[in-house]
Amino acid sequence: MMRLLTAAGLSALVIVLCVYCGRHHPGISIEECLSSPGTHDGLIVYSPHESDIGALTGDGFILRWHAGAIPVKGKAPHLRVGEYVGVKGVFRKEGYVDAVVIHVGRYRRLKMAASAAAAVAVFYLLHREFTWIRRRRALVSR
């Protein structure tokens, strides 16, 4: 019983830390910069999680995410609308970001599908090899 409680406690701690880090990252967010552009001019910002390219412009692209969009000045090879992208850049009070680094998440959806398929295969193989004995509270090889 103690082993189960320890595993559950550690799992809960990892989940809480992951959620906390995802929501309260130490850096300044683009949303905060857009709320008061004059005070955040020249700060380094990072693109929000799950951001993609909304449209291509002459000098860059429009970075969009669930809460909004902002123009980004900078180019990377083979940019396409709808492609996931990570941007590190300098926020400008005029309401745009000068890109320093642009990372294109090429084939991201395919990679997520391959990871999901691998997880399903592992669970299938584990289910085929082991069975749960409720009385003993243990996995037993079949």
**Per-residue model confidence as pLDDT tens digits over 69-112:** 999 999 888 889 989 998 999 999 999 999 999 999 888 888 88
Residues 84, 51 contacting (CB under 8 angstroms): yes
Residue 59 DSSP SS3 = coil
Prediction pTM value: 0.66
| 128 has a pLDDT exceeding 80 | yes
What pLDDT was estimated at residue 48?
84
What pLDDT was estimated at residue 25?
66
Separation CA 49–CA 105 (nearest Å):
12
Separation CA 89–CA 14 (nearest Å):
30
Number of continuous H segments (helices) and E segments (strands) in the chain:
3, 8
Distance of CA 47 to CAs 17, 133, 134, Å?
21, 47, 47
Say which amino acid occupies 56: L
| 27 has a pLDDT exceeding 80 | no
